[in-house]
Amino acid sequence: MFLSDEEKRMLDGEMGQGVRKAMELLVALGKTFDAERLIPITRAHVALSGQEGDTYWCGLLADGGARCKVPPTTNPAWDVTNLSKRFEVTDSELDLALRTIEVYRKIGAQLTFCCTPGLSTNVPAFGEHVAFSESSATPYVNAVLGARSNRESSVSALAAAVLGKTPLYGLHLDANRKGQFLVQVEATLEDPYDWGLLGWFVGRFSGSRVPVFNFRTLARRPSPEALLYLGAELNTSGAVPMYHIAGLTPEALTLKEAFGKTPPDAELVVTEEDIRNQEEAISEQGGPINLVMLGCPHYSYGQIREIERLMKGRRVREGVAFWVLTSFEALELAARSGEKERLAALGVDLVADTCIDEPCWKSFEGGLGVTDSPKCAYYRERRGQPFVIRSLQKCIEAAILGEVR
Amino acid sequence: MVEETKSYRCRCIVKGSGSGEALVSREPMCFYLCDPLTGTVIEKNHPLQGKSLAGKVLVLRSGKGSSVVQVDGFYQLWAKGNLPAAIIVAEAEPVLVSSAVVVDAVMVDRLESDPFEVIEDGDWVEVDAVAETVRVTKRSSS
């Protein structure tokens, strides 16, 4: 890989050990993919996790003098200020969360603690070269916004943010953005939940290839949240940082554009039944619940309003906690506009800066939860909480009954 | 007992050097599914299940699993001193490479011969990622 004189000096440690480590990582990645050189990026998003390994890496760079040339937005760990009052965590769990905040502040990140940067806090324009980690964010900025990001890890996105550069390979190149197989969708998709199920179904089949969705009929344009859910699940059950929807996403105005030459025959046809079977295949059976967990990826302000509409003034059943994870912006807006207080009176709590996969939620483990996010269920299961997966409407009915029927 | 040593060219991914007994995995690995205290692979049905990779030269198909868990897996092994001495990877992928860089786990790829053909469990392997060479001494043949 070609390196400029300045880049070579960075690799030799002349700009400090933090910059050297970041450059080592980008060079190792560039070599792996035969990148010809590094290119500048204009934005980055780091999927910080509050896990030791990730926090160690950020600390290593920051303590080695590195600061972000392109200040990245960041994923959440958990809201230590508010949730440490509500839930028990160990001293070491609290300490790790606090250290995570400290090192990311030190390195000069934007502490947005929100996993949906493409919706509001860090929105690239068409054609921008960026480094976005976070499994839901990468496909969103590629497919929906037409920006260019590889499937970054939190550590490679942070290295890119420090240097303001990334190796030129993969989805930064035109040829690799083209569709690789056709998915003919016969199913009718209503809300973001259905789009998420479609994503999970197709992701299992995709591996790391670029799917092109072709809809027989699209009753209405999917919301940004629906497209976010599609990508989140595609990139959880599979490794899919890019997709196209013919006639809808910006690099696929036609099927032909999506593929670059003659579109192939459909490899996969998705029916209504496939979508319903997918729910059944990954969901727990019903039963009494102790938790409703929404907001993986983070709920938007519009989705918070939708919760209030569906609650119709009814209260959450005693013994059931109802948590909605959201961005700081949506939370602030819901506080100003009144939804936060009204929902709290019904037993629905909103919290920002928080991920589902964190130790603050462990008091619910052992019980059954309900969520509208397959990704949430997948990660929570690792921590010992099985989830029923249902649409938002059904999650809300379960909250009121105290069980999923 | 005749000892036979052969030398192969390779490509450096993470520099450094390390020697040890070979441990071969034709399957991809998620390092999060290792016990950091012993380096033992705990993933169910993995060919290396129950074997420790601590101090070994790991010959590996590729990585798998999300970036968060792979990075943390490498970190936990490193923190307990139970990383492999070096890793020879057949199909490098970005998460595996990034994770190795974070903890300076010596890693090479593009061995000039198929590593699964020329290296078997128990061979003594010396990896010099700086010189981009791998020396393989076959264990005493039966």
Residue B142 lies in a domain: no
Same CATH fold, A283-404 and A178-280?
no
The whole-number pLDDT of residue B2 equals 65
CATH of the domain at B69: 3.50.30.10
Residue B1 pLDDT: 57
Of B67, B93, B107, the CB nearest to A154: B67
Best A11, A12, A32, A33 member to test B by mutation, with max B CBs in 10 Å, is A32
Q: Do B70 and A153 touch (CB under 8 A)?
A: yes
pLDDT band at B142 (very low <50, low <70, confident <90, very high): very low
A:131-170 residues touching chain B, CB 8 A cutoff: 133, 135, 150-156
Residue tagged 């080592």 (tokens): A24
Fold classified for A5-174: Aconitase; domain 3 (3.30.499)
For the CA atoms of B56, B57, B60, B66, the dihedral, rounded to the nearest 10 degrees, stands at 60
- State percent of chain B over pLDDT 70: 96
CB contact under 8 A, B68 and A21: no
**Is residue B47 assigned to a domain?**
yes
Q: Smallest CA–CA separation between A154 and chain B, in Å?
A: 7
On whether the CB atoms of residues B23 and B57 are closer than 8 A, the answer is: yes
A278 reaches B (C-beta below 8 A): no
The parts of chain A modelled with pLDDT lower than 70 are: none
Using pLDDT thresholds of 50, 70 and 90, give the confidence band for residue B140: low
Q: Is B42 on the interface with A (CB under 8 A)?
A: no
Give the architecture-level CATH label for domain A283-404.
2-Layer Sandwich (3.30)
Residue with tokens 């700086």: B130
Q: Which residue of A has its CA nearest to B101?
A: A25
Q: How many other CB atoms sit within 10 Å of the CB of residue A4?
A: 10
Average pLDDT, chain B: 93
What is the bridge-based pairing of β-strands A73-74 and B11-14?
unpaired
Decide if A31 and B75 are in contact by the 8 Å CB cutoff: no
Catalytic residues of B: 66
- What is this model's ipTM? 0.89
The answer as to whether B19 is a domain residue is yes
Query: Domain range spanning residue B116?
Result: 5-137
pLDDT of residue A238: 87
Which stretch of DSSP H or E encloses residue A322?
Answer: strand A321-326
The structural domains of chain A, with segments of one domain joined by +, span 5-174, 178-280, 283-404
Q: What's the number of domains chain B is made of?
A: 1
> Which residue type is seen at B41?
V
Query: Which class in CATH covers the domain with range A178-280?
Result: alpha beta
Put simply, whether B90 touches A (Cβ < 8 Å) is no
Is B121 a member of any domain?
A: yes
Reply yes or no on whether the pLDDT at B67 is more than 90: no
B93 touching chain A per CB within 8 A: yes
Domain membership of residue B46 (yes or no) is yes
d(CA A57, CA A80) in angstroms, rounded, equals 21
Tell whether pTM > 0.90: yes
**Residue of chain A whose Cα is closest to the Cα of B99:** A155
